[in-house]
Structures are given as C-alpha cells and as structure tokens.
Chains A and B, each alone.
Chain A
C-alpha cells in the first residue's frame, strides 16, 4: 500500500490551525514582515525623490527672482553747467566729470520725480540716493559720454533700483527688516509703493544678470554671471582640447595595444585610483605644480582647465575604454584580413565606430568638470575678479577670471542677502548648462548607439 492511497482520517492527523485556507499567526507575521520590508523600500525611494524635489524646488523658488530686476524710470535733466562746464560737448573733456558730479543730478531728478507725482514724504530730497543703485550714476554718465548731444535735455533713463528696493518688490525686504537697516527707511518704501502705482517703478527681465560682470560687495543689483560664464567657457575649451585627445590616446593604447606587463598594470591601477582622489587634492596639485613650480599666472582659466583636465581624464578614459570594448572583434579581424595594419584597423575602423560612445563619455566628463568648484578655489579663481570681459582669446585664457561655480560660491559667501538670490539664480544658469550637456549626451547615445 502506498501513501497516496491512504485516506487521512479527518482532523485527527492535522494539528489545529494548520490549514492552507486560514493563515496561522506565524504566516501572518511573515506576511506582515514582507509588507513592511516592501514599504521600507518604497519609503526609501520616495525619500530620495523627495530630496530631489525639495532641492530642485528650493533652487527654482529662490532663484527665478534673480532673473527679474527692478528699474526706475526717471526723467533726468542733464544740466550743462555741471556736466559740461566748457560747453564744447567734447566727450574727452566731459570725461573729467566723474560720477561724483553726476550723483547730485540723478538725486535731483529722483526728488523731482517724487514731487511731480505729488508724493508727500518726510525723506529729505538729498537722501533719495537710497532708492537707486550706485551703478545708476555710472549708467547715466556712460550714456552722456556716448551721446554728448543729450546734454541740456531732459532724458528718461531706466535706472537700476537699489538692492533694498528690489528686495522690497520681491518680498525679500520687509518693513520689519527695514527698521533695522541703515541703508533705507520706511519712508523710501512708501515712495516706492506710490511710484509703483504710477508705473515708474517696474520689474523687468534682467539680461545683465546673465551677460553682465560681477559687481562689488555693495552693489548686488548689478552683479551678473556673464564674465564667469566666459571663464568657464575658456576652461572647458582647455579641458576639451586636452582631455579628449589624451584620453582617447591613452584608452586606445590600453585597450588595443598594451602588452600584459608591469607598466600596463601600474597605469591601470593609477587610473582607477585617480578616479577616486578627492577633487581638492587636484587643486593642491595645480597650486603646487602649475602655479608654484611652473609659475603659470594665478586665477587663469588656462590653469583651471589644466587641473580639471587631469581630474576628468580618468572618467574619459574609463568611458572610452568601454566604448572601444563594445566594438566587436570581427571588425578588427575583417580590417586585418584585407591587409590593414593594426594601427590602421584601430584608427580607420574601430575608432569611428566607437566615436558616439566616446563623445557621450566626454560630454559627461565635461559636465562634471563644469560643476567642479573646490580645485578652482585653490588656484585663486575666486573673489572679486570676474569684473571685466577678457580683451581677446589670449587674455581669455591667461587673465584672471572666475568660473560659474566659483562665482556662485563667491556670492554665497558675501554678507548681503541680496547676493543669495544671485547665487540661486547662478545655480539655475549652471544647471541649465549641465542639463543641456547631459541631454546632448543622451541624444547622441540614442541616435548612434549600435547593437552588434
């Protein structure tokens, strides 16, 4: 008799509760544990995504306002006696009138505007300079020097409002904070409110933030990213011009030609270790070797580019080797079969086929380099230096300049909260570049990726 034919007597052999229809306590516990575990996983992913959302959200929330700037439309009477006492309308002669001469003119114009609008205020007409930026005076002066025929006329200028007024319109400056601020009084804000209702104070898109130069600590309303952007651009040229050829050459050697020997091992170990060296150590290397030892100019995009090149080389080498490896050996064999030398097989056949992968890796490496800050601090690409556009290509490489991330760091360090807004705005610009580069890399991969 086999077990299969034995009919169990009902209930007697089975312990109570061990049914496959009703779950017992232990199974319930195990199922609950299963559910909990799965929940932990979901919670972890949600936590990660929440971090991303909060991060991007706070960047957008704090940063978009930097792209708007407050301007005041003021009719300014360009008094010939002050601006051009000799009456020759000669720009060179008029250049001797400094911003000190122009400041009262703008202050008077401001006071006149307030009076014309019929605004009652306790603010002394001489204190109207709290309303507009110190840059506004230079703005008026530059326009007059460029168009001397304007002297003697009343010209309407769109002058930059001061950072406090700008902050008031963007809700950064409140009446509470103004009470403790010696730069501006509540009375000024009343004037701003009235002028706003009249349409004299307007917020407009701020091109100068994107294309302008950095400004001194006291003029956040004037500061822009443009020069730092150029600094980053010249650095990226150096990185691209050096790391792509060197990286590709090194990868070709290691992947296609390197014999199994000691030297190859040393190179491989070095590359994988360099990929893990903290970026600030590359900064120390740049400082000691390029600036201390070779005496390259400090703060120059050329040196920054060299340091970043050394930093991105491992990334590019690793991705290039992967791209070369993905080209099937049959391609090489076919080329060798029709009489090409090994070198020709690699350069004429393998390399072009691997090129999309190489470019993708290079762009990602460049994006990494573009966002890197720490090494740049050590070679001096920080501080109040991104103030002038470079004169030409050579000076673009050699003159002191900042870079986008270093400029953001510089702004974050400054005491005025108006600079925080600039820093967030700068991050938006930086991230736009990074997203664009990564999108290009992904598109390249999608378009040219081959499955063998």
Chain B
C-alpha cells in the first residue's frame, strides 16, 4: 500500500536556514545540509528546500547547498523558489535535486509547465499553487507570497497544470500559512477531487491532528510542514507514530 508522505520544508535565504531547528546535536543550526540530514535520518519521506533568497546574485548558493545535501541524503529532494527557466531546472537537477517546484513562472505562462515536463519528465515537475479564498468555495491563485492577485481560479488552474504534465501539486493556503490553525481542508478537498495527480498539503500546520486532517479529510497524498518540525515541537517520528495510531498508513 502506498504510504502517505511527511515532508519537512526548510526555508533557505542566502544559503542559510531561516527559522531553523535548534537541536543540541546540530553543529550549525543555520546549515541547510545539516538540517536536511537530521530530517532524513529522522524518517522524513522527502526533503523540501524553499529558496527565499531575494537577490539574484545570491541565487547560486542554493545550487551549492543542493549539491552538498544530495551527496548525503538519499531520500527525494525537492527544491522550489525562483525556478523560472529551463536552465534553472537543469542547474538544480544536475546539482542533485530530484524535483523542482515551479510557482510564479507557471502562473505567468502555463506552457512553461508543459515545456518543463516534456523535457525532464512529469516525475520531477511539481507546481506550487498559492491559493486564497475569495468567496464561499472559491479560491484564487496568488503569487509573490500571497501579495499579488492573479484573477485565476485555483481549481481551474490545478486542472490546467495537470493537463500540461505536472507530476504533483504543492498546494498552499495563503489564508492559513503561518497561522498554525490547520490546513484549509475545503480547498484541499476541492483540488484533490478535481485532479488525478498527487497533492501535497501545505500551510497552517500547528498540531499533529492537522496532518491527519490534511490526509484523511482533505485527501492529500503528502503533508508538508515547516515550523512544527523546525522548532522541535514534534519530531518526524512522533508525527508518523501518531498518524499510524490513527490508522493512517505511513512509512515507519
């Protein structure tokens, strides 16, 4: 039976982890490679890096981090943030990323998803959708961390990127992100019902029950979380044991 995945996400800025875990065993709490290793050894099913580096000059730092991480972590590695061109994808994959997550570039030009999945295969193309609720059962795609409204319906967009060859959807609720009040389960339900590719739930996790809700109520194939793991509130293993105790199948 296919297991539900738990994916810790690390925000990386100028080569350093932002809001990183502070475990005693860490030599350097800001080092993304060290943190990825801890997650991987702790049973993470995948690792996700989100590059939030603002300036272009420092963007190569993520390549270097991916290269180092890929030599030490042997679970899938997804990298997102600033993936705009075929060359960006080539660079990340050559450095050792297994998947890339495309956000703004996919919204700007949905053909880019087609081009990327044709060139590299659907298996490594994740499209990240940032959605915000605009009315009852209606969500809109936003870009730039939820600042820019696009007028695009999130459900329609999800169907479109599936059609264009995306292998997975990384769905973040901009209403819930950072609130620790749980995923937007209605949004998840709507997107998982409307598409036939796996959906990774993101945005809003504060408790282990939220992970359960994302999978069982929202229909997500994987759950992504940042802060509950970073701050050491829960270890990946605890999350998995909890889900397992509630009959959600996970890789233990």
Q: State whether these chains interact.
A: no
